[in-house]
Structures are given as C-alpha cells and as structure tokens.
Chains A and B, each alone.
Chain A
Amino acid sequence: AQSVTQLGSHVSVSEGALVLLRCNYSSSVPPYLFWYVQYPNQGLQLLLKYTSAATLVKGINGFEAEFKKSETSFHLTKPSAHMSDAAEYFCAVTPTGGFKTIFGAGTRLFVKA
C-alpha cells in the first residue's frame, strides 16, 4: 500500500535560516505528489504539486520541492525562513489512477526570532 513518511514531527529554525522538511513515499510507480500547509485554525492549502513536468517544483511563498525518483523523496525547502512560515506542513501523494490522497503525519515548523 502507498505510504508517506515525513521525518521529524517538529522542526525549529531561526528566522532567515534554511528550511528543510523531509518527505519520502513508497511506490514502485511515481505518484502525484503535493505539499500542503495548515496555518492555525485553518484548513489546509496547497503549497505546490509535482506533475512530472519538472523535477524541481516552485510553489507559493518562496517554497520549492525537488522530486528524486532514485530516493523516492520529495523534500520541501525554503532558502530563508520568515516568522509567517510557522505552520504545519503535510506531504501527500495520490497514486497514479487513484482517487485517494494519502497524507503524511505532518511536520510542525517553528521559526525563532
């Protein structure tokens, strides 16, 4: 069965530092891949999605993610963290030909001043 693993339930960075949130998926066939963000007391909103057009995907708010098939990874990065980036981030996959989007457990990002 398809699964998504996010390494680290909590990540803390200083303002201006690099943000790296890790995501690995299990699939013999590359699925569709997404990163969602959830701000406090809100639903989830899409940050970016991988559509096989390019391995490096740019999203909103300066985030990007790189698809690496050999590592079955889709890590999320941002060069310089901002206080407003503090939120919970979810990696998600939808198997090719499937309806169900499967989410990772989430990583809560803390940004220190």
Chain B
Amino acid sequence: DVKVTQSSRYLVKRTGEKVFLECVQDMDHENMFWYRQDPGLGLRLIYFSYDVKMKEKGDIPEGYSVSREKKERFSLILESASTNQTSMYLCASSSGGDVTNEKLFFGSGTQLSVL
C-alpha cells in the first residue's frame, strides 16, 4: 500500500523556535509538495520540489524553507515560528511525467500549534 508519512500528527512549539516537519514517501515519486490547510481557505501551496535538491516557491513561501536531500524525503522548515503559522500542514507527492494530470497522494497531516 502506497504511503506518505508525516513524522508528527500533533506538534506544539513556542514563538521563535525553529521547527522541522518531515515527510517521507515510499512510491519513488519525483514530485513532493507542502500545503497548509486553514478553515475557509482550503489548501495553499507553500513549496514544492520536482527533483532531489530542487525546490520551487508556491503561493505562500514567506517564513518557510524546504530541504530535499533524498528523493523520498521532503522537509519543511519554519525558521522562526510565529503564531500565524499555527495550522494543519499536509505533505503530498505525485509521480513525474505528465505532472499536470497526476493525482496527489497525501499524508495524514501535522497539526502545528505555535504558542
């Protein structure tokens, strides 16, 4: 069974802390994505990666960075957490090729609270 695994289901951090959210996929997918989900706003793309060591900004990259050193792992980094980054974070992956037509496989999400 294909899987996208996010390391934590719930996370509580303090303002100013550096936060790492980890995501691992076992499908040998080229593309990986980080979204944040907020009520009434749907999912908004933070960053994505279409290859190892490659990254592209999404629609709301401010305050975030990413790392993809291995194909299966895509990390989201909050350099200095702020309360407005309290949200549900969803990792997703998709195969390469005709990327526009490929469905996304999602992890279960990490609910991050910044106090």
Contacts and interface: CB of A to CB of B under 8 A. Distances in A.
A12 interface: no
B45 interface: yes
Interface residues of A, number: 29
B42 to A, nearest CB: 4
B99 A43 contact: no
Interface residues of B, number: 26
A101 B4 contact: no
Given A32-B101, A98-B100, A100-B48, A43 B40 contact: no
Residue from B40, B43, B90 with most neighbouring chain A CB atoms (10 Å): B43
Interface of A: 4, 6, 9, 31-32, 34, 36, 41-46, 49, 51, 90, 94-106
Given A43-B90, A95-B100, 11 more contacts: A4-B42, A9-B40, A36-B104, A41-B108, A43-B106, A94-B101, A96-B100, A99-B56, A101-B33, A101-B104, A103-B35
